[in-house]
């Protein structure tokens, strides 16, 4: 009588099937982790880019000489114009085709926001004030598409008060 040790064909097929299921599950988990990581990076990049654009706008309001538009108590405006000094020089902020621009006097507009972030709501509203420095309420809604097509949308709100 011979003692033959080893695995039968059925045992090998069962082991391969179990191993295949485990590998499929691990692959799905890795794909989900990478998609989540991409979404987090997309959101972080959008937040940083938008934060920089809002910082530039608020800095110009705070350092400005006088807010020309919007007028106090008026309805919201999609354009902000601030006199930068007593000589009448101005800077304007507005959106065009989803990109935020700044424009000094009548010079060529300068892109403030990133091209991969679509701004579809930028509004300014000046609080009606009684002799105090004006406060501008800024609302910005943007949409961002990540490298894998992941879309995010977020609304930002902030205020800026002139320091005069």
pLDDT single digits (tens) 107-159: 899 988 877 778 878 888 887 666 677 788 898 888 877 666 667 788 889 88
Question: What whole-number distance in Å separates Cα of residue 105 and Cα of residue 88?
Answer: 9
Q: Which residues of 93-128 are buried (b: 16+ CB within 10 A; e: fewer)?
A: bbbeeebbbbbeeeeeeeebbbeebbbeebbbbbee
71 versus 78: the higher-pLDDT residue is: 78
Tokens of 23: 């590998």
Which residues does 109 contact at the CB level (< 8 Å), separation at least 6? 96, 101, 102, 103
pLDDT of residue 1: 58
pLDDT single digits (tens) 75-120: 667 888 888 888 889 999 988 888 889 999 888 999 888 777 788 7
Record the pTM: 0.71
pLDDT single digits (tens) 47-63: 888 888 899 999 988 88
Which residues does 100 contact at the CB level (< 8 Å), separation at least 6? 53, 93, 94, 111, 112, 113, 119, 122, 140
pLDDT single digits (tens) 13-35: 999 999 999 999 999 999 999 98
CB 25 within 8 A of CB 135: no
pLDDT of residue 19: 97
pLDDT of residue 136: 87
Specify the pairing of strand 66-69 against strand 79-83.
antiparallel
């Amino acid at each position: 009588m011979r003692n033959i040790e080893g695995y039968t064909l059925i045992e090998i097929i069962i082991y391969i099937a179990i191993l295949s299921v485990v590998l499929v599950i691990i692959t799905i988990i890795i794909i989900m982790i990478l998609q989540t990581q991409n979404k987090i990076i997309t959101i972080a990049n959008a937040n940083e880019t938008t934060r920089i654009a809002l910082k530039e706008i608020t800095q110009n309001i705070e350092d400005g000489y006088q807010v020309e538009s919007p007028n106090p108590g008026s309805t919201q405006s999609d354009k902000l114009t601030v006199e930068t000094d007593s000589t009448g020089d101005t800077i304007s902020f507005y959106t065009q085709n989803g990109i935020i621009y700044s424009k000094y006097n009548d010079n060529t507009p300068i892109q403030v926001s990133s091209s991969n972030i679509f701004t579809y709501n930028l509004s300014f509203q000046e609080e009606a004030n009684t002799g105090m420095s004006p406060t501008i309420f800024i609302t910005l809604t943007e949409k961002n598409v990540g490298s894998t097509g992941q879309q995010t949308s977020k609304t930002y709100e902030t205020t800026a008060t002139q320091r005069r």
